[in-house]
A = this chain, B = another copy of it.
Amino acid sequence: MTERRRITPVILSGGSGTRLWPLSRSARPKQLLALTHVETMLQLTVARASGSERFAAPMVVASTAHADEIEAQLAAAGIEVGTLILEPAARNTGPAIALAAFAAEPDAILLVMPSDHVIADVPAFHAAIERAVPLVEAGWLVTFGITPNGPETGYGYIRRGDALAPGVQRVEKFVEKPDRVTAQSYVEDGMHSWNGGIFLFTAASYIAALEAHAPAMAAAAHEAIDAATHDGHRIHPEALSFGRSPNDSIDYAVMEKAERVAVVPVDMGWSDVGSWDALHELAIKDLDGNAHHGEVLAIDTNNCLIRSEGPIVVAVGVKDVIVIATRDAVLVLPRGDSQQIKRAIEALKRDGHVTLDKPWA
């Protein structure tokens, strides 16, 4: 038997979403927050691919603005950073992963993970990785297909095809976010998984697919890494070259177009914690269905998520409400409909409201 090759985690920390405003802000996005545990989402992500001989030190792809905070969080978690690639501009996941692929050894196995997801069942995740490795070593691009637990319309779906190996199937088709009826049919037919944005492939396989299907992206990332400046474990890709890259997701640029793409279906307690409702669902709740955090005085409340990062929040006699408070911003939403936040965020963006960017005090 050959010695098992180490897997290099590639952590994508480029997101600056606002779906968890007022906690998530561009200066301190979701992955840098402790939302579900004492650890931040980034710390949890890195920790689930470390601590064994199987995993090499991680590569983190992030914005320069977050470099110090990322290093501090990994140090606090006792995890050595392998490489911190600081994007000169945000260009979506396709180019971000390309930077990591060009910076890695060609035969390195890259485990690409968003930095802001929850995986409750890490052994199931590790087992799925092991099922994927033989195909990855044979040059396949592998995505992990999350077993859907409901007709979610906020995720892309993967239609699974023929079996390639035990627990590995060919990807028949990537499907855009469906409407509710279509999503329900996907859940019922048992042939679809959620696209969780977690991938396994060798650097060389990704680069080959990129050169075939997104050559401008490949060239831009290649040049940016060739001309990069290095500062300890920090890599600063050359900005002009990288700036020429198309702005596309790995799904659109590569996965939907490449030939040998496999999916490993896995049920591992995954969540992208994409809304306050999702956080309420994940949280440990009291007998009245409440999940409270911080200095909260809640009397006669039911099915609420109340969270404070500073002020005391007093709630009496309210039901099915989400309240998120910081010193400079307070959000109040009905529970079960927390995507309503989008309407407010759009208005705040039109105003260029300061609380979208600066960290909460």
User: Which one of B317, B323, B348 contacts A330 once the chains associate, using CB atoms below 8 Å?
Assistant: B323
User: Which one of B297, B306, B310, B318 contacts A334 once the chains associate, using CB atoms below 8 Å?
Assistant: B318
Cβ of A329 within 8 Å of any chain B Cβ, yes or no, is: yes
What are 30 inter-chain pairs, A to B, with CB distance below 8 A?
A22-B314, A299-B340, A300-B340, A300-B343, A306-B332, A310-B327, A310-B328, A311-B326, A311-B327, A311-B329, A312-B330, A312-B353, A312-B355, A313-B330, A314-B330, A314-B332, A314-B341, A314-B348, A315-B331, A315-B333, A316-B332, A316-B340, A316-B341, A317-B334, A317-B337, A318-B321, A318-B334, A321-B332, A323-B332, A330-B330
Cβ of A75 within 8 Å of any chain B Cβ, yes or no, is: no
A291 → chain B, closest Cβ, in Å? 15
Cβ of A64 within 8 Å of any chain B Cβ, yes or no, is: no
**The 5 A-B residue pairs with the shortest CB-CB distance in the complex, in nearest-first order:** A316-B340, A315-B332, A313-B330, A317-B340, A314-B344
Q: Which of A323, A330, A348 has most B Cβ within 10 Å?
A: A330
Residue of B nearest to A327 (CB): B327
Contact B330 A297 (CB under 8 A): no
Contact B333 A317 (CB under 8 A): yes
Within 8 A of B (CB), among A290-313: 297, 299-300, 306, 308, 310-313
Which A residues are closer than 8 A to B by beta carbons?
A: 22, 297, 299-300, 306, 308, 310-318, 321, 323, 325-334, 337, 340-341, 343-344, 347-348, 353, 355
A320 → chain B, closest Cβ, in Å? 10
Please name all residues of chain B whose beta carbon is closer than 8 Å to the beta carbon of A347 when the two chains form the complex: 297, 299
Residue of B nearest to A306 (CB): B332
Please name all residues of chain B whose beta carbon is closer than 8 Å to the beta carbon of A306 when the two chains form the complex: 332
A305 → chain B, closest Cβ, in Å? 12
Measured between alpha carbons, how far is A343 from B347 in the docked complex, in Å? Answer: 36
Given contacts A299-B343, A343-B299, contact A329 B314 (CB under 8 A): yes
Given contacts A297-B348, A348-B297, contact A325 B314 (CB under 8 A): no
A309 → chain B, closest Cβ, in Å? 11
Given contacts A348-B297, A353-B312, contact A325 B318 (CB under 8 A): no
Residue of B nearest to A301 (CB): B332
Q: Which of A308, A315, A347 has most B Cβ within 10 Å?
A: A315
